Structure 1
Amino acid sequence: MKDKVNMNRIMRLKNRVLNTRPEMDLENALILTRGFRESEGEPLVVQKAYAFRKQCLEKTVKIWDDELIVGNSGSKQRGGLLCPDTCWSVLDDELDTISTRKYDPFYLRDEDREHFVDEIRPYWKGRSTYEKWLCQIPEDTRILRDCGVLYINRKAVRGWGETTAGYEMIIKEGIEGIKRRIEETRAALDITKPGHYEKMVYLRALSLSADGVIQLARRYSAEASRMAENETVKTRKEELLSIAEICRRVPEKPAETFREALQSFYIYHTCIFMEQNAASYNPGRMDQYLYPFYKADLEAGRITPQEAQELLDCLWVKFSEPCLFQDEKTAQYSAGYPMFQNICVGGVDENGMDAVNELSYMILQATMDVQLYQPSLSVRYHMVRNPNAFLKKVAELIKLGTGFPAFHCDEVGIQMLMNKGIPLKEAYNWNPCGCVETNLAGKMHCYTSYADYNLGSVVEFALNDGRSRKYGIPAGARTGNPCDFKSFEDFFKAVKEQITYIIRAMVAGNHVNDDICLERVCPALSLSFEDCITKAKDYAWGGPKYNVGNGLDAIGVADLINSVYAVKYLVYDKRMLSMEKLLEALEHNFTGFEEIEKLCLECPKYGNDDEDVNQLTAELFSFIADLIESFDSKYGHMTAGILPVSGNTPFGLEVGALPSGRKAYVPLADGVSPNAGTDIEGMGAVMKSVSFIPHGRFSQGTLLNLKLDPAFNQSENSTQSLMAFLKSMCSLGVFHVQFNVIDRDILIDAQKNPEKHKGLLIRVAGYTAYFVELGKEVQDDIISRTAHAGVNV
């Protein structure tokens, strides 16, 4: 099939994206600001919808050569959008350096700078949700954030990403069908009844947003017609005329063909980025909601598999155009302009039966064909229902070494949704979101990764009476002098008290954030959530069918386990050293205490299937899950997750030496992976240790990184071995794994000679990026991961 797709077109599209310099794109911000000025006096949600519609009517509309799927959330092919109503100050802080900063630079044109200084900044100063958050953050939460124990509400995290819109409703009903829903809801209201006026106001905002989407598509249709008139190449002229006809119909009307469904999806996808640019608006289960259109076209002779594959490949290139704009410090540790647009294939259908279809394979093939860093691709694999042929295709993609796909055990994903309160019938339809989080398209409200907390700091605080070693100030709970602890139980109690103190502070900050985020209205996104329409209640206000407490995500799993176990083993069980000596060694970062360092390093470690360490793992993370789920928010129980992205690197910079033998201020372990170099019993032992974490209860997702030596691919039975390993992972109840298949020497050479390795894709954590665009600290962390030459099941 691949040879018959027009790969010349795909390579031209791909190369144009790769060779286009990312720019700050302030056109949307400028139109938004003018829209808010024009609508002053209106309710906030109407102002937001009015400004969105104005963006749709006035933004630059451009169709690039060779494109078959069109649309762009901004005015530039690769642009970083600024959303000043949520946070304008990121750009203000870096106005003079944004074009030249080391990580993820964005070229800022002089005219855009002038617009920012003259119009955008003056209007929004003091009005953004980020500024309100800074004023209202609880003091304990602020101290923990400033000491690197919590990572909350980054400046560049804005909007309502980490969600999956109801794309299927947009495609099947069209915006005209959604407008009918709005009118039906409005017709049932009576302004004389309390609360109904507010609903009428909200429905007006939905109507404005719906009209904006329609008008934007019509403008693309007009642009394609204009270009076709001037086109002299017959084949391209026909393509432009087809684009004009398709955009004249969708997404206003229900899609009738596979190509219309793709175009309807993508126009709406760009619209929700326009409304509030954010990482992680997830296309979800594309092989399910697009398959009926592909099947019907195929049966009617309207399309061939090769033509459909080319359309998918074109769409895959489009996913790599938008660039996440984040502040310089954040970019240093999560570089690569990651947008976290997570697409999912496989799993079961709403009846619990096999959902794999021809489109599932074609989506895997699109990732093989295009090999760009976006979209993220995830696989749901159900051991009982999904066929071996599907698993084989997945294994072949993994072996390419691009970091795709992220592999998920479907049974555990379903458990996670049910743990969030979703009935089984609907939990069958879950999809991965962002990194590895669990979501439900068009039905769920949840910020899946509200905050990260530092498990390395937990141990440090328990051994330092709540003081930060780096900053020398009290930041955690006062749990006393550890030299006075009489037993391991006393120490373990102190560890639990520190965890409790930190999580309570996160929950306090979450409640403030939830209130502020009521202002982060998003009527364009809410258009695709049926319950937002019938309730006349915005996504930001809890309008979707299911509302879940935000996610609290752990970083440093192995550091916590290994350090707690080292104290138990060395100080209390074996009495090989005193608490006083251990504390002295940690204070000096093991300098002059090399024998103690050796004892710490030689302790049994997580990742080697040690029975005692495994039992400690289960006890610690059951305690954490119990604790987090004991807290309620206005949207439901708080939820737990373990998905660090690359936060293990900056968090490590905040933590001194630990009893595990880890030196001060180096990266913590990533995700649920062992500390680098400590997993010496092979991948089977790693998987068994990881299985002692109660994955189903960490319902925002758990993330496991593994690295395979390329020598593995040379094995005669490598594909079958990898398939067997993935099946055993599912049988153990482990939720997720993703692989890098890369030679360590190549990574080292790429670090030294980046110009030779510009196309080298690597799986960082929950996202794939070009290795040479990552910060050195993150590169070093990836290089240090244990490389397994074989798979033992």
Structure 2
Amino acid sequence: MQKTTSKKSYMERINRLKERVLEKYPEIDMENAVILTRGFQESEGEPHVVQKAYAIRKQCMEKSIPIWDDELIVGNSGSKQRGGLVCPDDCWSFIDREIDTINERQYDPFHLKEEDRELFLEVVKPYWKGRSINEKWEKQMPDVVRTLRDCGAIYIDRKCVRGWGELTPDYQMIIQEGVEGIEKRIEAVRETLDLSVPGDFEKMNYLRALSLVADGLRQLGKRYSAKAKEMAEAETDPKRKKELLDIAEVCDRVPEKPARTFREAIQSMYFLHICVFMEHEAPSYNPGCFDQYMYPYYKADLEAGRITEDEAQELLDCLWVKFSETCMLQDATTARYSAGYPMFQNLCVGGVDEDGMDAVNDLSYLVLQATMDVQMYQPSLSVKYNLARNPDKFLKKVVELMQMGTGFPAFHNDEAGIMMMMNKGVPLREAYHWNPCGCVETSLAGKQRCYTSYCDYNLGAVVEFALNDGKSRKYGRYAGARTGDPRNFGTFGQFLEAVKAQIRFMLKAVVEGNQVCTQIVRDMECPVASLTFKECIENASDYAWGGAKYSIGDGLDAIGVADLINSILAVKELVYDQKAFTMDTLCKALEAGFEGYEDVQAMCAHATKYGNDDDSANQIAKDMFNYIADYIESFQHPYGHYNGGILPVSGNTPFGMEVGALPSGRKAYVPLGDGISPNQGTDTNGMSAVLKSCSYIPHARFNQGTLLNQKLDPAFARGEKAVESLMGYLKSLCAMGIFHVQFNVVDPEELKDAQENPEDHSDLLIRVAGYTAYFTELGPETQGDIISRTTQTHI
């Protein structure tokens, strides 16, 4: 490594790397799918998990290994710089279904080259037809689940079309031990097994699978080393030649052996990271508490004079660009729920260590600076802020990053996160080390098995069904519980019981679906990810089989929080308390989408609204979401009780397109409220009132995470004393027990101009929900939802 680097020179490199990624239109990458298919064909007759591991090793041995100009950190999960990988053992059929439309679809289109199309039709499809996880799910899905899904009341297909995702490997393990250290763990367990003991044969096969993927990781590093040497021999620029030789030296060592330096540690973790994506390209493989496990290497290098702060910053910035290369390839329906090609690679800084003491260190600040420098949509940077332990200096740097308007970082109340982990059954000492996962979920590196966002359920549909005897207005089908004609509800209590009955019906149905899905996905083994789950090795049991130390019930996520609260309030106030109109009038108005009933719509729109610190709204929020949490936790998952969350991704937009007019005054088929945020434009008493209302939701019980969006006027967010005001606001959030907030700092007029002139705003980053995306890559409905959010001008 060069011993002197100025910020000006390294930013020139970073800008070139960044520009090359941004100019690439996302492409479907078929290379890994072809190699995987041939790997399964070659290993026919082996146990399924061995076939999977054999195919992954084959990918590592045969895949393209591009090293782009200017790169210092190398590796790519596919062959294209901005590509989406096809994982046919999860789901091949959506490619077949969309093969003629994926180039032009509304949300997250991908370019499919003709040669890749032919490979899919000639190699991939013929083998995988009838074999994929998604096909098994489609055939075995309970009828009640299918009906609710088809009527837009739930979205439940994630795990069967996108692989595992939503997990945090133990990157520290691969960095500290290397592949060779992990292989010693595997061998130690293998020596305890006896073929004459029932069950040990299956364990031997599983350990063989782990050994195959471990060797694949080793060989991938060696291949990159050889490629860098080859390129160095042909390189005429002395500076680049030296860089390539450095890359060759690093890759010759890691990930095979323990990392010795900061650069080796970064490269080792990134090799593991891309191999996890090769196994199942799914969102939310999370680098976790990066500043904590990387800091010892940075500190040692700095003290030994092997690196300067600027050189370390350059390596981090290079890594940040790498995180933005892979694009999430999803079917068209799923893309509507998380538009913008998000990978949800949630990397966090801050919080406390295993003793509950301040974990902020010098590297924490460099990580924040990397996001300031690079300003791309990945990694999805989060902060864990501990009110009692973390310093004001750290919080000030966090606010300065927020003021830039990129949507980063997501801010998490560390103490609420710890409580969420403990509610999952994790002891306090380990709960200290939780990390944000995906959007805003809670995870534990190398220890937690949990599909944190298995299902979304539509609270707008809950209200519609309660006022329409379980029938969807859009589809004219009975999908929910038959709760009777609402005109016969003589009291508010009867109406509220109908709402609760719809909630129970919907949640029970998704649990039924999850029980089926949980059995199906046992065949979706992930030996690469499991390689750093110590208990998976010790128990010779895959992550998919519940081999992790804490295997926890899957997450059921609410969308439409404000719509539920505001609709209940409107019915209570206008129908039962004030008798402003009858239930019959309300039902007719809703059926008509308020056309001809504009006076009813106006009264509904002016009824009490959540988000303004109103006692009646706060009480409804508290009661309803404790009720929902109670009901979710009453169900037993094969790996523990179920868990709730409130994290819409961008699902509030497509869910809203499935729901007619609501008593809240919301018109038909427009977006629902996002996360725990108030409905768009209804929070009129400032940010502090929003916080007070949000604090009535039992955050720690929705332990998969809760999400609060706030949009700030740039003049306010960047004005005099703004840093001090926002620091105080964030501390108040923590004191109130609220888990999360994230900010957009953007002028609504700029967003409108970006809609009309996208070519002038291609680099405009925006916080959608639990992720950041380029505004111009979002669909028009999602763009409109973001524009319509309340722009806050004061605390």
TM-score normalized by the length of structure 2: 0.98
Equivalent pair of 2:90/2:133 in contact (CA under 8 Å): yes
CA distance in 2, matches of 1:423, 1:395: 31
Tell me the alpha carbon deviations over residues 672-718 of structure 1, each in whole angstroms, 9 at most, x when there is no partner: 00000100000000010000000000000000000001111342100
CA distance in 1, matches of 2:316, 2:73: 9
Cα offset for 1:97? 2.4
CA distance in 1, matches of 2:483, 2:578: 24
2:365 counterpart of 1:361: yes
CA distance in 1, matches of 2:786, 2:737: 26
The match for 1:313 is: 317
- 2:583 aligns with one of 535, 559, 579: 579
Tell me the alpha carbon deviations over residues 188-210 of structure 1, each in whole angstroms, 9 at most, x when there is no partner: 11110111111001000000110
Cα offset for 1:512? 0.5
1:543 is aligned with what amino acid? G
Q: Relative to 1, partners in 2 of residues 1:154 and 1:417: Cα closer, same or farther, differing over 3 Å?
A: closer
Instruction: Tell me the secondary structure at the aligned position of residue 290 of structure 1.
Output: helix
Instruction: Tell me the secondary structure at the aligned position of residue 684 of structure 1.
Output: helix
Instruction: Tell me the secondary structure at the aligned position of residue 29 of structure 1.
Output: helix
Q: Which runs of 5+ in 2 are unaligned?
A: none
The match for 2:224 is: 220
Cα offset for 1:3? 3.4
The match for 1:542 is: 546
CA distance in 2, matches of 1:230, 1:484: 83
1:164 is aligned with what amino acid? T
Cα offset for 1:77? 1.1
Q: Relative to 1, partners in 2 of residues 1:118 and 1:300: Cα closer, same or farther, differing over 3 Å?
A: same
- 1:467 aligns with one of 465, 471, 480: 471
Equivalent pair of 2:251/2:267 in contact (CA under 8 Å): yes
The match for 2:523 is: 519
Tell me the alpha carbon deviations over residues 566-621 of structure 1, each in whole angstroms, 9 at most, x when there is no partner: 11111112222211111111111111212211211111100000001101110000
CA distance in 2, matches of 1:331, 1:728: 35
- 1:502 aligns with one of 487, 502, 506: 506
1:237 is aligned with what amino acid? K
CA distance in 2, matches of 1:179, 1:676: 53
The match for 2:290 is: 286
Q: Relative to 1, partners in 2 of residues 1:102 and 1:601: Cα closer, same or farther, differing over 3 Å?
A: closer
Tell me the alpha carbon deviations over residues 127-173 of structure 1, each in whole angstroms, 9 at most, x when there is no partner: 00000000000011110000000001148842211000011100000
Cα offset for 1:40? 0.3
CA distance in 1, matches of 2:33, 2:598: 56
Equivalent pair of 1:5/1:310 in contact (CA under 8 Å): no
- 1:348 aligns with one of 343, 347, 352: 352
Q: Relative to 1, partners in 2 of residues 1:157 and 1:359: Cα closer, same or farther, differing over 3 Å?
A: farther
- 1:476 aligns with one of 468, 475, 480: 480
The match for 1:490 is: 494
- 1:20 aligns with one of 21, 24, 28: 24
- 1:149 aligns with one of 127, 148, 153: 153
The match for 1:173 is: 177
1:722 is aligned with what amino acid? L
1:264-303 matches, cutoff 5 A: 264-303=268-307
CA distance in 2, matches of 1:453, 1:761: 28
The match for 2:438 is: 434
- 1:93 aligns with one of 72, 92, 97: 97
1:115 is aligned with what amino acid? L
1:271 is aligned with what amino acid? C
The match for 1:378 is: 382
Q: Which runs of 5+ in 1 are unaligned?
A: none
Cα offset for 1:2? 7.9
- 2:775 aligns with one of 751, 771, 774: 771
Instruction: Tell me the secondary structure at the aligned position of residue 288 of structure 2.
Output: coil
- 2:116 aligns with one of 97, 112, 117: 112
2:82 counterpart of 1:78: yes
2:607 counterpart of 1:603: yes
Cα offset for 1:722? 0.4
Instruction: Tell me the secondary structure at the aligned position of residue 382 of structure 2.
Output: strand
2:266 counterpart of 1:262: yes
Tell me the alpha carbon deviations over residues 215-268 of structure 1, each in whole angstroms, 9 at most, x when there is no partner: 011000000000011111111111111110110000100000000000000011
Q: Relative to 1, partners in 2 of residues 1:552 and 1:155: Cα closer, same or farther, differing over 3 Å?
A: closer
1:432 is aligned with what amino acid? P
Cα offset for 1:311? 0.2
- Identity, in percent, stands at 67
Residues paired across the two proteins, number? 791
Instruction: Tell me the secondary structure at the aligned position of residue 660 of structure 1.
Output: coil
Equivalent pair of 1:104/1:331 in contact (CA under 8 Å): yes
- 1:232 aligns with one of 224, 232, 236: 236
- In angstroms, what is the RMSD of aligned CA positions? 1.1
The match for 1:750 is: 754
Instruction: Tell me the secondary structure at the aligned position of residue 77 of structure 1.
Output: coil
Equivalent pair of 2:134/2:160 in contact (CA under 8 Å): no
Instruction: Tell me the secondary structure at the aligned position of residue 6 of structure 1.
Output: helix
- 1:615 aligns with one of 619, 633, 647: 619
Instruction: Tell me the secondary structure at the aligned position of residue 378 of structure 1.
Output: strand
1:127-206 matches, cutoff 5 A: 127-154=131-158, 157-206=161-210
1:612 is aligned with what amino acid? S
CA distance in 2, matches of 1:468, 1:286: 46
Q: Relative to 1, partners in 2 of residues 1:113 and 1:484: Cα closer, same or farther, differing over 3 Å?
A: same
Q: Relative to 1, partners in 2 of residues 1:45 and 1:291: Cα closer, same or farther, differing over 3 Å?
A: same
CA distance in 1, matches of 2:740, 2:698: 13
Tell me the alpha carbon deviations over residues 318-349 of structure 1, each in whole angstroms, 9 at most, x when there is no partner: 00000111122333453321100000000111
Cα offset for 1:5? 5.8
Cα offset for 1:95? 1.3
1:317-328 matches, cutoff 5 A: 317-328=321-332
Equivalent pair of 1:342/1:433 in contact (CA under 8 Å): yes
The match for 2:461 is: 457
Equivalent pair of 1:316/1:375 in contact (CA under 8 Å): yes
Equivalent pair of 1:155/1:326 in contact (CA under 8 Å): no
CA distance in 1, matches of 2:169, 2:603: 52
Instruction: Tell me the secondary structure at the aligned position of residue 402 of structure 2.
Output: helix
The match for 2:628 is: 624
Equivalent pair of 2:158/2:455 in contact (CA under 8 Å): no
Tell me the alpha carbon deviations over residues 372-392 of structure 1, each in whole angstroms, 9 at most, x when there is no partner: 011100000001100000000
Tell me the alpha carbon deviations over residues 353-395 of structure 1, each in whole angstroms, 9 at most, x when there is no partner: 0000001000000000000011100000001100000000000
* Stretches of 4+ aligned residues off by more than 6 angstroms: none
Q: Relative to 1, partners in 2 of residues 1:2 and 1:690: Cα closer, same or farther, differing over 3 Å?
A: farther
2:56 counterpart of 1:42: no
Equivalent pair of 2:255/2:271 in contact (CA under 8 Å): yes
CA distance in 2, matches of 1:334, 1:137: 23
CA distance in 2, matches of 1:110, 1:461: 46
Equivalent pair of 1:642/1:672 in contact (CA under 8 Å): yes
Tell me the alpha carbon deviations over residues 406-460 of structure 1, each in whole angstroms, 9 at most, x when there is no partner: 0000000000000000000000000000000000000000000000000001111
- 1:786 aligns with one of 780, 783, 790: 790
Q: Relative to 1, partners in 2 of residues 1:57 and 1:7: Cα closer, same or farther, differing over 3 Å?
A: same
2:208 counterpart of 1:208: no
2:740 counterpart of 1:736: yes
Instruction: Tell me the secondary structure at the aligned position of residue 337 of structure 1.
Output: coil
The match for 1:715 is: 719
- 1:689 aligns with one of 688, 693, 715: 693
Equivalent pair of 2:90/2:161 in contact (CA under 8 Å): no
2:245 counterpart of 1:241: yes
